[in-house]
Amino acid sequence: RYGQAEKDHQTGAATGLAYTQAGGDTLSIEISLAKGKGKLTLTGKLGDVMKESAEAAFSYVRSRTEELNIDSDFYEKYDVHIHVPEGATPKDGPSAGITIATALVSALTNRPVRKEVGMTGEITLRGRVLPIGGLKEKSLSAHRAGLTTIIIPKENDKDLEDIPESVRDDLTFIKVNHLDQVLEHALLEEN
Amino acid sequence: RYGQAEKDHQTGAATGLAYTQAGGDTLSIEISLAKGKGKLTLTGKLGDVMKESAEAAFSYVRSRTEELNIDSDFYEKYDVHIHVPEGATPKDGPSAGITIATALVSALTNRPVRKEVGMTGEITLRGRVLPIGGLKEKSLSAHRAGLTTIIIPKENDKDLEDIPESVRDDLTFIKVNHLDQVLEHALLEEN
Amino acid sequence: RYGQAEKDHQTGAATGLAYTQAGGDTLSIEISLAKGKGKLTLTGKLGDVMKESAEAAFSYVRSRTEELNIDSDFYEKYDVHIHVPEGATPKDGPSAGITIATALVSALTNRPVRKEVGMTGEITLRGRVLPIGGLKEKSLSAHRAGLTTIIIPKENDKDLEDIPESVRDDLTFIKVNHLDQVLEHALLEEN
Amino acid sequence: RYGQAEKDHQTGAATGLAYTQAGGDTLSIEISLAKGKGKLTLTGKLGDVMKESAEAAFSYVRSRTEELNIDSDFYEKYDVHIHVPEGATPKDGPSAGITIATALVSALTNRPVRKEVGMTGEITLRGRVLPIGGLKEKSLSAHRAGLTTIIIPKENDKDLEDIPESVRDDLTFIKVNHLDQVLEHALLEEN
Amino acid sequence: RYGQAEKDHQTGAATGLAYTQAGGDTLSIEISLAKGKGKLTLTGKLGDVMKESAEAAFSYVRSRTEELNIDSDFYEKYDVHIHVPEGATPKDGPSAGITIATALVSALTNRPVRKEVGMTGEITLRGRVLPIGGLKEKSLSAHRAGLTTIIIPKENDKDLEDIPESVRDDLTFIKVNHLDQVLEHALLEEN
Amino acid sequence: RYGQAEKDHQTGAATGLAYTQAGGDTLSIEISLAKGKGKLTLTGKLGDVMKESAEAAFSYVRSRTEELNIDSDFYEKYDVHIHVPEGATPKDGPSAGITIATALVSALTNRPVRKEVGMTGEITLRGRVLPIGGLKEKSLSAHRAGLTTIIIPKENDKDLEDIPESVRDDLTFIKVNHLDQVLEHALLEEN
Ligand SMILES: [Ca+2]
Ligand SMILES: [Ca+2]
Ligand SMILES: [Ca+2]
Ligand SMILES: [Ca+2]
Ligand SMILES: [Ca+2]
Ligand SMILES: [Ca+2]
Ligand SMILES: [Ca+2]
Ligand SMILES: [Ca+2]
Ligand SMILES: [Ca+2]
Ligand SMILES: [Ca+2]
Ligand SMILES: [Ca+2]
Ligand SMILES: [Ca+2]
């Protein structure tokens, strides 16, 4: 079951790119907020590295509420659930880090994520974006899904040459060092 | 021991369709609410994917209390127990997601679930309904149990042709993209 | 070590029937209440299915406090311990469900359990009683222990023919669909 | 390292009898109370059955504070630690149940345990005393340690004949059905 | 890396003696107190028996605050961390019990531990000191580290003959039954 | 992917030196603080020894807030997340102890860490710095990354001779016994 780009801009959800033994695929990161006390739930058959990656994205957002125009008390007011459909498919690795952070900021600021954007990159606690593997396969799956803009780590610049030219020409690659740049290109203004 | 349709419309319980190595079967999803502090208990020999699926259904409902006419404080007032009899039979997979969400909304709104309805479909945090496997076997078991209306994911449309015509003709298939459509067809008005 | 019927009506304890590789046996379900905050403790070398069965029984009782004449705040006032002697013998399966529920209602209402009654049946969150296995062996052990009344699931009706007539004639079988019927036959009036 | 009887009556400690592959041995059950909030700690390389046995003993005492002349709020005021030296020796089984209960009542009532008394027996939540194994080996080790009074379950009466007469004549066996009888014979008046 | 005696009397740290397959060694037990709520943290690659031994030492101290001149509320005011460098070396066994208790009393009373003292012995909840293994190897390592006074369990008296006379003559052995005696010989007056 | 020195002085992050089967490498230790209640989160595929090492560093800082000019209530006000990118690479061992402590003090005092400094050393609860392995490989990777000052444990003095002279001459080695010395050389004044 191949992924497809969203039909509308989504709030609280972003599209990542995965690389598995079966090749590349897109994956949705979904966030739900509910009145609560700061509990973080992670589901979608996620491996330990991906869970820790989500925790890093979450802590980054919590530590930058002021700069991100997020209520600094959100953690005390809400329970946060991060889910990655399709629930029976195992997922792992750190490369969904910036996608999780983007979906989370979208949910907390009510700013939609552009429907044509996919992204991949490890996030650190300082918001830095670290390089990832499988850029070629990820780009092919993004293209197949109908995405047109792909946000990638600057350090993966050297891997662009591995993507078939026909695909590369259809896609706009945005190279980033920091989550601020991701958010700038992925988020629309508040609804 | 084959399943049977409920004899009466039930509140806080809904009928799902399971697909195991032994073929299709119906299963009941039961919800109990008790005065408490928001603890969620999941029982019935459920595998990890099914537990996560229940957590997704639960979070979806919690994040949409206003639209669903549910007291937004229910999570602070009740402990919620989701159980799937028969307790010695292992169960897994994400396809009970919409059934769990439906039973939960039924329990929280006091609206009964139509006794003639069975359903299958993965739920996401946005309430989307994702396709499932084993539609043929599930439909046969629903038919055998006496159900007449089956709610399925729209993406499973292509699998209807695999169901024997004699069975297909006895059943009404409702194809859905979102939980809102499931609830519209499965729930009666409040008691 | 074969079980024996209780010599007196017991409050907070009920007699179940177990079926193991070594044949049938009776088992006591004991409940203790102590001032506390709603902690549930389950002991007696219980397998996961039996523990979940106890949780289902517990949730059923919590969700029906009004109908059962139980203080609706009991869960906030007491810690509840459910224990099944003999502590070195492994026990599992869902068939003690109605026995656990009965012992719990007895403890919370101060109504004694009739000493001559044994019972077996899975309980669901709606209080339904589901069929169990090993009725023949369980009946033989109940007979040997001196019990005279056996409460069984209505769906096990068909298995009564497997019990030797000499034993069957000594025992009164009460067939039930719901826990309400169990309590009606098993509990005496409040002390 | 063979056990020895205590030189003085002890408060908050009692002497049990263990039966291992290496034969019989005595073991001390020690209780410490410290200002706290009801946490129960179990140490001494205890197996799961022995831990559950300690929980049963603990719950029995909590549920009978009035009859035992114990402050009914003790559980909210103290943390309770139950330890069984020697810490490197694995211990398991339910037969220390009445010893744990006795040490606990001693600690909470400030009544010393008679130094010449050893005991063995499973405890249930109703305070019943169930039979144990290895009575012969346990009696030999009690004799060797210098104990003179051994409290045993009434149901083990039939096993006394297996103890060598020379040992049996040196020991007083007290046969009990219930913890009340244990406490009557094991505890002195408050210091 | 062989241990060495401390250069100064230390508060909140004491020197124990370990016996491993590689022979004897000294080890430091370090305590840190920080404003908190009674959390106990145990680190240093400790095995289960050593962790339980630390819990026993901790409970002993908590239960004797009055006799030890410790603020009886310390457990509600502080988090306590017990660490045993070197963090990559596995450690186990109950014989550091009295060392842990001594370091803890030192930290809570602000009384330094004499720098020339090493010690070994299991502690019980009553403060009793039980015998240990490897006294010969432990003594050799204490001697090599420059310690001059070794506190040992009285029951290990019989093992002193196994220590080479040249080493034995350099060391003062203090034989103890109870932690009170350990503290008397190991602690200086408050700073 | 080889490490590189930071381009700017960083607050809440410090550079450690790792030694793995694949040789030496630099690693970043990142700290994020967010309004919270004292929860400590450790991520980055850390082994147990490294996690315990982080706990020791954390407890040291908590126990010395006064001397370190840190708000003594920080633990009650913040949740602390310690992360070590790159999230898919397993990391273990105690030698990042002083780096973690330095990053933490930097985050809590707002004093930047000098960008040219790398460090390695186990930390104890008293702030002592214990020797580590792989100094040669660590120094080579530090040199390759462009670091110019390396803080090492004094006890590793003897291992400096193993480093190629050409590398050794480019690096300034600071030998330390205690974390105070680390902080003195690694931290700049508050921003
Ligand atoms: Ca897919
Ligand atoms: Ca390339
Ligand atoms: Ca079935
Ligand atoms: Ca088809
Ligand atoms: Ca039995
Ligand atoms: Ca039959
Ligand atoms: Ca012994
Ligand atoms: Ca016999
Ligand atoms: Ca050493
Ligand atoms: Ca000897
Ligand atoms: Ca690297
Ligand atoms: Ca050298």
Output the pLDDT for position D12.
Answer: 97
Catalytic residue among B91, B138, B139, B141: B138
Chain D residues at the C interface, defined by Cβ less than 8 Å, are 38, 48-49, 52-53, 55-56, 59-60, 62-63, 65, 72-73, 75-76, 93-94, 97, 122, 124-126, 128, 130-131, 155
Q: What is the pLDDT of residues D50-92, one digit of tens each?
A: 999 999 999 999 999 999 999 988 998 999 999 999 999 999 9
Q: What is the pLDDT of residues E138-185, one digit of tens each?
A: 999 999 999 999 999 999 999 999 999 999 999 999 999 999 999 999
Which residue from F30, F31, F25, F29 is spatially nearest to F3, judged by alpha carbons?
F25
- The residues of C carrying an active-site annotation are 95, 138
For C17-22, what is the mean pLDDT?
89
Mutation target to probe the F interface, by most F beta carbons within 10 A, among E11, E29, E43, E113 is E43
Classify F73 as helix, strand or coil. coil
Output the pLDDT for position D165.
Answer: 96
Ligand nearest the Cα of residue F135 is: 12
Backbone angles phi, psi at B50, to 5 degrees: -70, -40
Nearest by CB: F63 against E13, E32, E85: E32
Output the pLDDT for position B21.
Answer: 81
Q: What is the pLDDT of residues F61-115, one digit of tens each?
A: 999 999 999 998 899 899 999 999 999 999 999 999 999 999 999 999 999 999 9
- List CB contacts of C167: < 8 A, sequence separation 6 or more: C139, C140, C143
Confidence of residue D166 (pLDDT cuts 50, 70, 90): very high
pLDDT surpasses 80 at C191: no
Q: Taking a C-beta distance cutoff of 8 angstroms, is the pair F40, E34 a contact?
A: no
Backbone angles phi, psi at A70, to 5 degrees: -115, 145
Output the pLDDT for position B20.
Answer: 84
Output the pLDDT for position D3.
Answer: 83
Output the pLDDT for position F13.
Answer: 98
Q: Taking a C-beta distance cutoff of 8 angstroms, is the pair B29, B100 a contact?
A: yes
Distance from CA of A8 to the nearest CA of F (A): 32
Look at the alpha carbons of E101, E102, E103, E108 in this order and tell me if their dihedral is positive or negative. Answer: positive
B72 is catalytic: no
CATH of domain C13-184: 3.30.230.10
Output the pLDDT for position A42.
Answer: 98
Output the pLDDT for position A21.
Answer: 81
Output the pLDDT for position A129.
Answer: 98
pLDDT surpasses 90 at A108: yes
Output the pLDDT for position D190.
Answer: 80
Report the distance separating Cα D184 and Cα A169, nearest Å: 91
Q: Taking a C-beta distance cutoff of 8 angstroms, is the pair E129, E140 a contact?
A: no
Output the pLDDT for position A163.
Answer: 97
Q: Domain locations in chain D?
A: 13-185
Report the distance separating Cα B86 and Cα B44, nearest Å: 7
Tell me what percent of the residues of chain E surpass a pLDDT of 70: 99
Nearest by CB: F87 against A38, A53, A59: A53
Output the pLDDT for position F24.
Answer: 93
Output the pLDDT for position C99.
Answer: 98
Output the pLDDT for position F153.
Answer: 98
Which residue from E142, E30, B167 is spatially nearest to F130, judged by alpha carbons?
E30
Output the pLDDT for position E20.
Answer: 84
Output the pLDDT for position C3.
Answer: 83
Instruction: Specify the DSSP class assigned to residue E68.
Output: T
Confidence of residue C190 (pLDDT cuts 50, 70, 90): confident
Say whether the F–E interface has 3 or more Cβ pairs within 8 Å: yes
Chain E CB contacts of D41 under 8 Å are: 55, 59
Confidence of residue D2 (pLDDT cuts 50, 70, 90): confident
Average pLDDT score over chain C? 96
- List CB contacts of F168: < 8 A, sequence separation 6 or more: F139, F160
Chain C residues at the D interface, defined by Cβ less than 8 Å, are 1, 10, 12-13, 28, 30-36, 41, 43-45, 79, 81, 83, 85-88
Contact C55 B85 (CB under 8 A): no
Chain B residues at the C interface, defined by Cβ less than 8 Å, are 1, 10, 12-13, 28, 30-36, 41, 43-45, 79, 81, 83, 85-88
State the ipTM, two decimals: 0.94
Say whether the D–E interface has 3 or more Cβ pairs within 8 Å: yes
Nearest by CB: C49 against B13, B83, B88: B88
Report the distance separating Cα F186 and Cα F178, nearest Å: 13
Contact D125 C1 (CB under 8 A): no
Distance from CA of C33 to the nearest CA of D (A): 6
Output the pLDDT for position B181.
Answer: 98
A39 is catalytic: no
- List CB contacts of B130: < 8 A, sequence separation 6 or more: A85, A86, B94, B121, B122, B123, B124, B153, B155
Chain D CB contacts of E52 under 8 Å are: 43-45, 83, 87
Both structure tokens of F20: 């793995």
pLDDT < 50 regions, chain B: none
pLDDT surpasses 90 at F3: no
Q: Taking a C-beta distance cutoff of 8 angstroms, is the pair C133, C155 a contact?
A: no
Q: Taking a C-beta distance cutoff of 8 angstroms, is the pair D72, E117 a contact?
A: no
- CATH architecture of the domain E13-183 equals 2-Layer Sandwich (3.30)
pLDDT surpasses 80 at C27: yes
With vertex at residue F150, the alpha carbon angle to CA F144 and CA F154, rounded to the nearest 5 degrees, is 140
Q: What is the pLDDT of residues C64-93, one digit of tens each?
A: 999 999 998 898 899 999 999 999 999 999
Nearest by CB: B87 against C38, C65, C122: C122
Other Cβ atoms within 10 Å of A64 Cβ, number: 20
pLDDT surpasses 90 at A169: yes
pLDDT surpasses 90 at E188: yes
Q: Please, what CATH class does the domain formed by D13-185 belong to?
A: alpha beta
Output the pLDDT for position F2.
Answer: 72
Q: Please, what CATH class does the domain formed by A13-186 belong to?
A: alpha beta
Report the distance separating Cα E101 and Cα E61, nearest Å: 7
| Concatenated DSSP letters of B30-77 | EEEEEESSS-EEEESSB-HHHHHHHHHHHHHHHHTTTTTT--TTHHHH
